[in-house]
Structure 1
Amino acid sequence: MNWDLSTPFVIDIKVAADDIDGLGHANNAVYVSWLERCAWRHSQSLGLDLAEYRRLDRAMAVVRHEIDYLAAAYEEQELQMATWIVESDQRLKMDRRFQLIRPEDGATLLRARTTFVCIELSSGRPKRMPPEFIEGYGRALMQPFPLEL
């Protein structure tokens, strides 16, 4: 697969009949649900599932999506969504990038970037990331490329 960045976390997606809108392709809102699914599965793979969020009284909440819809997806198509954690201040904010590819022809259908903020579940207010978030999400953080001299 021709991913934009190395070492992606990837999920498989099959476009369902319920994903299709009146124009005959996957609805834009469905793409957002795929972003959420991919991010959530990646978090779970890092040991940060809903039970851990509740135990820590913390969660990563979306504050901004930037989405470029590049091509349409159609019913029954097999797709792959990748994500990378590309930035983190290891206090409050974290950014993910996403890429959606149709493997049958290698076409990129979507690129997106999402900004998350750590919140306290009990109050809904921004709170510093606990050490478990810094460690778990930090393991997946893309390392900057070394500068050529």
Structure 2
Amino acid sequence: MARATLTPREDREVFVLPLEVLPEHIDANGHVNNVVYVGWLQDAGTAHWNARFSEEDRAKWSWVATRHEIDYLRGIEPGATGVVARTWVGEPHGPRFNRYVRIENAEGKVCAQGVTEWVLVDAATLRPQRIPPSMLTVFEATSAD
């Protein structure tokens, strides 16, 4: 059964992270290994967070992944270039945010897509913290997007 392609929310910023396909990413089937995609989901979320929040904010808050779900739609071949991750966040629920990621090839075809549930924690205590409304505004789309 084919899954519907994830579509970014119009009210959220879509952050784009270029991805490099390295020789060690290729498995015995001749395409990027599934484990690499999990790392790319995490890399996309971390890069978005690091790009939008100050060093002070990043020292105060941290994120813990509690769940990953990935749909593999088409393989990425060795030596592929122009591969990107597009990511955006969903609606906050207390300390939880779902982050959506699409991995696309150079032609813009979705090769994999996934959702990770992240929990905001106090960086010192690692205790969950409710996502402040001010944090959500950073992830909102702007009129220039």
TM bucket (normalised to shorter chain) is 0.7 to 0.9
Q: Is the 8 A contact 1:59 1:121 kept in 2?
A: yes
Q: Does 1:15 align with 2:18?
A: no
Question: C-alpha root-mean-square deviation of aligned residues, in Å?
Answer: 2.3
CA change 1:40–1:117 in 2 (3 A) is same
Unaligned 5+ segments in structure 1 are 143-149
Describe the SS at the equivalent of 1:88. Answer: coil
Describe the SS at the equivalent of 1:87. Answer: coil
Q: Is the 8 A contact 1:84 1:141 kept in 2?
A: no
TM-score by structure 2 length? 0.79
CA change 1:138–1:86 in 2 (3 A) is same
| Between structures 1 and 2, the one with greater strand share | 1
Structure 1's consecutive aligned runs of 4 or more residues displaced over 3 angstroms after TM superposition are: none
Q: Is the 8 A contact 1:63 1:115 kept in 2?
A: yes
Q: Does 1:69 align with 2:72?
A: yes
Q: Does 1:120 align with 2:122?
A: yes
Cα displacement (A) at 1:48: 4.7
What pairs with 1:1-149 in structure 2 (closer than 5 Å)?
4-5=7-8, 6=10, 7-49=13-55, 52-54=57-59, 56=60, 58-78=61-81, 79-89=83-93, 91-104=94-107, 106-129=108-131, 131=132, 134-141=133-140
Unaligned 5+ segments in structure 2 are none
TM-score by structure 1 length? 0.77
Describe the SS at the equivalent of 2:35. Answer: helix
Equivalent position amino acid for 1:140 in 2: F
Equivalent position amino acid for 1:93 in 2: R
Equivalent position amino acid for 2:31 in 1: H
> What do residues 122-144 of structure 1 show as CA deviations (whole Å, max 9, x unaligned)?
33332334x4xx423432147xx
Q: Is the 8 A contact 1:9 1:84 kept in 2?
A: yes
Q: Is the 8 A contact 2:122 2:129 kept in 1?
A: yes
Equivalent position amino acid for 1:34 in 2: W
Describe the SS at the equivalent of 1:109. Answer: strand
Cα displacement (A) at 1:43: 0.7
